[in-house]
Structure 1
Amino acid sequence: MPTASLQHRRHFLNTVFQGCAAGSLFPAFSTLLADERSQSTRQIPAVPGKLSIHLRKRTAKAPLKAVNETAEWDASETAIIICDMWADHPCKLAAQRVDRMAPRMNQVISKARDQGVAIIHAPSGGIQLYEETPFRKRIKEAKPSKPPVPIQGWCYLNPEKEPPLPVDDTVKRSTESSLRGCDDPIADYKKNTDRHEHPAIKMVGYDVVSANGQEIYNFLEQEQRKNIVLMGVHTNMCVLGRPFGIRQMSYLGKNVVLCRDLTDALYDPRDRPYVSHTRGTEMIIEHIETHWCPSILGRDLTKVIPGSNNPVS
């Protein structure tokens, strides 16, 4: 609910706007009032501060090479989506890598949150565990917005934009599970693993939790977030294909990037192209940089350009 002073300010602007003749002052008051109304729909304070983002992408034609660029993003126009960082995983080596990544990820999102970046937690399959929390309530109450293209339940590989993935993640080594790409030596998958988000990643403040593409789009539009950072697992599957993943965000026209040091692929070195798990993840990142979007490092989200967060005069 707006404060009394904010209500008085809006009343004043409305009065001036309505009583202003069509002269030189009209456009200025119109813009000011529109900005005021726009701010009133946001829940997260829109604070000043610019992030210096170091983008890495790749040329699609030979000679293939990395291209580095620097961009400035307003922190108040930026959101992080954390994909499927579950407390446990049927693939135990994958779960171990999430254990290793989660504390670093929490440090990044904690510092980004302090700069004004929005944080969206998306532990797919575990959202029902958060139904009674303010983080679910907040995103369910976001103002509805109509997307420019349909939001798909899953965004499959798009042959019009990309070739087949550079690693084979189709092999299943258990008759008891549909899980593929797991590099555990023995396929001993357990059903009903814990789909809470990893406990090292804290959900706090204005954060929201959802795996629903429309809910997430509503929230992004309400909070005026056009720069989207995807982090989490697994790079070759959910990070690309979920209804909030890289492909869908690209279709929606968002300025999406992958956080390459806070992601991991689900790839088994026993499968093509027979490289280490680390190299397999790197190859997926290179595929994304070539055909979908640039990548960045988490550190770019932790601080703003000195002086850019001072009060606007």
Structure 2
Amino acid sequence: MTSAGLTETDWSGEGVTIGKIERELARLRDESAGHGSQPNLRTSVMTHIAWVPARWQAAAEETLAGMAERHPSRTLLLVPRPEADDDRLDAQLSLRCFPVGARGVCGEVIELELRGRRAVAPASIVEPLLISDLPVFCRWRGEPPFGAAEFVQMVAVVDRLVVDSEEWDELRYSELAQVFDRVAVSDIAWRRAEAWRFELAKRWPAIREQRISVRGPRAESTLLRAWLAARLGRDAESITVEPGPELGVRLDDEDFPQPRPLYATPSDLLSAELDQFTRDRIYEEAVRTAA
């Protein structure tokens, strides 16, 4: 899926070095303008890293395509394959250019397959490819392996870690909270409930004394209950939670009106996270309450 006016140029290689990747990127940029055209603009506001185990690869690529030109960046898609028999780095490079007048504004997508032992030492691969003096975001697909070498290394490299705890097998919020002082953290499950928090906040202070029950997907309902408990100064156990396909809230015996969603697609949700540069203290408080 591509946007109107998008052009792409590509290169791929197996067993490559970082130097080879950098040379091929430079060549793609030179060739992208075409003969006799003005050179395209290489525009980046960040380095966007995505740690994408194979089971999440299709979803990650669809989300990236849906973001189009909203966040011009150098994007590194890291696909770990620690089970591979050989230790090597395979690469697929794309230059994605959108027309702006007589020129194109280009972003780079560097998809790297980290095979064998390369999968447990990502920092040495990522650091040479970062754009200096720009923030570094990492979208970690699936449940992070807290404490594992690859996770610890990536936390040390990036400015913001973006997770979706709805993708986790277990809600390991106590372990997530341990990295808050090392890296800013965002959670797409928290972002999905943003409209609910806006609307429920309008019921302050009367809501403080009401019976509250929350239903919905596991992570979203857990975080919404934790936020309510922390903000209202109540014991989290006083707010009941039930599973359900979508979020819902009851105050006393009345269903709270369903708010209009703020984000239509996974691309919109990720785009919102990439617009946030500071720590979210209220989210951190909710995570600690849920832990």
- TM-score where L is the length of structure 1: 0.30
Choose between structure 1 and 2 for higher RCO, CA contacts under 8 A separated by at least 6 residues: 1
Give 1 or 2: higher strand fraction: 2
- TM-score where L is the length of structure 2: 0.32
Give 1 or 2: higher helix fraction: 2
